[in-house]
C-alpha cells in the first residue's frame, strides 16, 4: 500500500467530523436552504439517519473490499469504466479542496483583512497543508485529535455565553411548512458530505476493522448534533429573517458575546479556531486527492504529486470563486446538490450493483 500508516477509529471519527462541520461554523449555508424557516434545526437532526442511508453503498463496498480504497476496487469491479470512475472521484476531491480553499481565503479578505490579496491567503494555506500532507495520514489524524476537542469546547462555551440573549420562541411554530421541507433540507445537507468518499478512501487504514460501524454512526451523529449547536444560537439571537441576511452568521453572533462588560469581542478566538479547522479540512482533502491519484497511476509514493497538485489548487480556487457572490451561487443547493450526489451516491451505488452482478469481492 502507498500509505503504511494506521489510524484509530476515534481519529477517523474526529477527522470526518472536523472536515464536515468547519464550513458550517462560518457560512451556515443551511439558513438559505429548505425549509427556509426556523425548522432548519430539525433538518439538521434528520441529517443523521439520512446520511447513514446515503453512506450505505460505501459501507457495502468496504465489506466486499476491506483492504482497498474506492480508487483501487473500482478498477477491479468495472475495468476501464472503473478507472474512469476513479478519475471522476479524484476530480471531486480536487474540486472540493479548491472550494474549501476559496471559502477560507474569501472569509479572511471579506471579514478580517480586506486589503490583503486573496492570493496571499490561498498560497499560505496550500504551503502549510502541503507540508502536513507530506507527513502522511497518521500525522493528519493526530492533528484532528488535537484540534477537535478545542473546537467542541469553544462552541459549547459560546452557546452558554449567549444563553442570556437567546429567545427560544423564535424556534416556533415547529413544522410550520410540514415534514417535506424538513426532509428536503436534510437531504441537501447530506449531499454536501464529500466525507462519505473520504471514508471509502480511509477505511482500509483503520487499525481495528471491528469499529467500522461505530465510525459511521458516531461521526455522522456528532456532526448532526454540532450542526444544531451552531444553528440554534444564531436563530434564537437574530431570528431566521435577520440571520439569512448575514454573510457569516455564526461569526456575527459571536461578536455579540458580552458577559458583564468584561468578557467580550471574542471573535478573534472564533477566527483562530476556524482557521485550525479549515487547515485540517483542506489537508484532509488534499491528501485524498494525491493518494487517489497515485493509486490510479500505480505509483509507489504519493509525495511527488503534492507540489504539482498544489500548483493546480491555487489557480483553480481563484477560477471557481473570484468573489463571494459567485462562490455562494455555485455552492447553493440548486446547483451543488445534484453535482455532489453524482459522486457520493450514484458512483458508489453503480459500483455496488456492478460488483454484485459480476460477483466481485
pLDDT in tens, the chain (361 residues): 577 779 999 999 999 999 999 988 888 888 988 998 999 999 999 999 999 999 999 999 999 999 999 999 999 999 999 999 999 999 999 999 999 999 999 999 988 888 889 999 999 999 999 999 999 999 999 999 999 998 889 888 888 888 888 999 999 899 989 899 999 999 999 998 999 999 999 999 999 989 999 999 999 999 999 999 999 999 999 999 999 998 889 888 888 887 776 667 777 888 888 899 999 999 999 999 999 999 999 999 999 999 999 999 999 999 988 888 888 888 888 888 899 999 999 999 999 999 999 999 8
Q: What pTM does this model have?
A: 0.95
DSSP 136: -
Residue ranges in the chain assigned as alpha helix (H): 9-27, 40-54, 56-64, 70-78, 80-107, 118-135, 137-161, 179-191, 195-202, 212-238, 240-245, 249-254, 267-296, 306-320, 324-330, 333-341, 347-357
Please report the domains of the chain, with CATH numbers, ordered by start residue. 9-357 (1.20.1740.10)
Quick one: angle between helices 80-107 and 347-357, nearest 10?
Answer: 160
Amino acid at each position: 500500500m502507498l500509505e503504511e500508516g494506521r489510524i484509530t477509529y476515534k481519529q477517523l471519527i474526529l477527522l470526518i467530523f472536523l472536515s464536515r462541520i468547519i464550513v458550517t461554523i462560518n457560512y451556515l449555508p443551511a439558513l438559505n436552504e429548505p425549509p427556509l424557516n426556523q425548522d432548519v434545526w430539525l433538518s439538521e437532526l434528520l441529517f443523521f439517519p439520512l446520511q447513514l442511508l446515503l453512506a450505505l453503498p460505501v459501507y457495502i463496498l468496504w465489506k466486499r473490499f476491506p483492504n482497498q480504497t474506492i480508487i483501487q476496487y473500482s478498477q477491479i469491479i468495472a475495468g476501464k469504466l472503473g478507472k474512469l470512475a476513479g478519475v471522476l472521484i479524484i476530480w471531486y476531491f480536487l474540486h472540493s479542496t479548491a472550494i474549501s480553499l476559496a471559502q477560507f481565503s474569501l472569509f479572511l479578505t471579506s471579514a478580517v483583512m480586506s486589503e490583503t490579496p486573496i492570493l496571499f491567503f490561498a498560497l499560505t494555506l496550500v504551503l502549510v497543508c502541503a507540508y502536513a500532507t507530506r507527513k502522511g495520514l497518521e500525522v493528519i489524524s493526530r492533528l484532528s485529535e488535537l484540534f477537535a476537542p478545542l473546537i467542541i469546547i469553544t462552541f459549547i462555551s459560546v452557546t452558554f455565553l449567549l444563553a442570556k440573549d437567546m429567545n427560544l420562541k423564535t424556534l416556533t411554530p415547529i413544522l410550520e411548512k410540514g415534514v417535506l421541507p424538513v426532509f428536503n433540507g436534510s437531504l441537501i445537507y447530506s449531499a454536501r458530505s464529500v466525507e462519505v468518499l473520504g471514508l471509502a478512501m480511509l477505511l482500509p487504514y483503520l487499525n481495528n476493522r471491528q469499529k467500522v460501524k461505530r465510525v459511521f454512526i458516531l461521526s455522522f451523529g456528532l456532526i448532526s448534533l454540532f450542526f444544531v449547536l451552531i444553528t440554534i444560537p444564531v436563530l434564537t439571537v437574530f431570528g431566521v429573517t435577520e440571520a439569512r441576511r448575514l454573510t457569516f452568521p455564526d461569526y456575527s453572533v459571536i461578536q455579540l458575546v458580552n458577559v458583564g462588560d468584561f468578557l467580550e469581542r471574542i471573535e478573534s478566538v472564533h477566527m483562530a479556531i476556524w482557521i485550525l479547522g479549515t487547515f485540517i479540512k483542506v489537508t484532509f482533502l488534499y491528501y485524498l486527492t494525491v493518494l487517489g491519484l497515485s493509486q490510479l497511476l500505480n505509483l509507489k509514493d504519493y509525495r511527488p504529486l503534492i507540489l504539482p497538485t498544489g500548483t493546480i489548487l491555487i489557480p483553480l480556487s481563484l477560477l471557481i470563486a473570484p468573489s463571494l457572490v459567485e462562490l455562494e451561487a455555485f455552492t447553493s443547493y440548486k446547483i451543488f446538490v445534484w453535482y455532489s450526489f453524482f459522486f457520493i451516491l450514484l458512483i458508489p451505488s453503480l459500483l455496488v450493483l456492478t460488483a454484485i452482478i459480476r460477483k466481485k469481492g
